[in-house]
Amino acid sequence: MTEQTIRGEPTLRLGVSTCLLGENVRYNGGHARDRYVTDVLGRYAEWVPVCPEVECGLPTPRESMRLVGDPENPRLIMPKSGRDQTERMQSWIEEKLEVLASAQLDGFIFKKNSPSSGAFRVKVYDQNGVPQRTGSGMFAGAFMDRFPNLPVEEEGRLNDARLRENFIERIFAHCRWRHLLETDPTPGGLVGFHTSVKLALMAHSPRHYQDLGRLVARVGTVAWDEAAEQYESGYMEGLKVLATRGRHANVLQHLMGYLKDHLGSEDKQELLGLIEDYRQGMVPLIVPITLFNHHLARHPVPDWVHVQTYLHPYPRELMLRNHV
């Protein structure tokens, strides 16, 4: 039972490259266990492990493989023997994607540099044997094409504080969206959901917030399935835009408007000073957010403010806002 389940909240369901969990499935018979994946995110997630090489029938250990040819449609080759595993892998991928379509995933963490599971900048070798970091692994690329709304990341890129925070915010956001579709797939449910993510979207992409607001305003006149599909696409696309200090500061100043009649001049100056300190990169985001939560809990503000996912986008124990 995960910590999320203990709290009575929806539980993350994440696909993950099996080797990152410490399973000995790599070509050399080893693993690539990632402690952040297993020991930190593992507290909040149910894992759906996937190892394309093993699951398509290749042994462990095995000859290494590489992508060769056209980066848009490369072949999967074992360079030592020259064996071509492309058709074997493609056949398995078609079947696996059908299985994963019903797995209710909230995202996927891939193994970097893998010719099957690397998501970004995977080496593709040209006819002269010269590599260019222009490709995606065969399975990872097909997964992203099939499920464009699902957040994906590589374990190596999770070492970047901004990318890590963005990815984790998005997987929890998708989990809440999935929960809405399971519990209240109605126009009223969508209106309430959009209200709760208003500030989060403003911090990432004001354009997406405005576009989604127009969609929600006419949700009663559009077929539900169409409206939900359009909303999910725009919602996840908007959150993928990296939030900036400037947009965060604008959101915090927006929040100030609901407290200005309840705070004394010293408290106002303290909040405004921390917002500016954050904007200038002198303090992390957690500093003004903590003070805002303190004041919002003590003073009467509109109910919609209290339900903003922006204030609590993921478990505070992850401490991601200590670093952005």
| Per-residue model confidence as pLDDT tens digits over 185-205 | 999 999 999 999 999 999 999
Average pLDDT of the segment spanning 300-318: 94
For residue 220, what are the contacts with CB-CB under 8 A and spacing of at least 6? 187
Q: How far apart are CA 121 and CA 139, in angstroms?
A: 14
For residue 322, what are the contacts with CB-CB under 8 A and spacing of at least 6? 284, 286
Residues in the chain: 324
Tens of pLDDT, residue by residue over 51-71, are: 999 999 999 999 999 999 999
Q: What is the mean pLDDT of the chain?
A: 95
Q: What percent of the chain has pLDDT over 70?
A: 97
Instruction: Please give the pLDDT value at position 322.
Output: 93
Q: Where are the beta strands (DSSP E) in 18-163?
A: 45-50, 66-68, 75-77, 107-110, 122-125, 131-135, 152-154
Asked if 299 and 262 count as a contact pair (C-beta separation under 8 A), the reply is: yes
Asked if 38 and 21 count as a contact pair (C-beta separation under 8 A), the reply is: yes
Average pLDDT of the segment spanning 110-136: 96
Instruction: Please give the pLDDT value at position 107.
Output: 98
Instruction: Please give the pLDDT value at position 260.
Output: 87
CA distances for 159 relative to 129, 162, 218, 242, angstroms: 30, 9, 41, 16
Given pLDDT bands bounded at 50, 70 and 90, which one contains residue 9?
low
- Residue 1: pLDDT over 90: no
Instruction: Please give the pLDDT value at position 324.
Output: 87
Its sign, for the CA torsion 142, 145, 148, 151, is positive
- What is the separation, in whole angstroms, between the first and last Cα of the chain? 30
- Residue 123: pLDDT over 90: yes
Alpha-carbon Rg for the chain in angstroms: 22
Tens of pLDDT, residue by residue over 227-241, are: 999 999 999 999 999
**206 preceded by cis ω (within 30°)?**
no
Kindly tell me the burial class for residue 33, based on how many C-beta atoms sit within 10 Å of its own C-beta (0-12, 13-18, 19 or more): middle
- Token code pair at residue 69: 């040819």
Instruction: Please give the pLDDT value at position 210.
Output: 97
Instruction: Please give the pLDDT value at position 11.
Output: 87
Which amino acid, residue 280? Q
Instruction: Please give the pLDDT value at position 114.
Output: 98
Which amino acid, residue 150? L
Average pLDDT of the segment spanning 121-145: 96
- Residue 214: pLDDT over 60: yes
Q: How far apart are CA 57 and CA 96, in angstroms?
A: 13
Average pLDDT of the segment spanning 272-278: 97
| CA neighbours closer than 13 Å in the CB half-sphere of residue 131 | 11
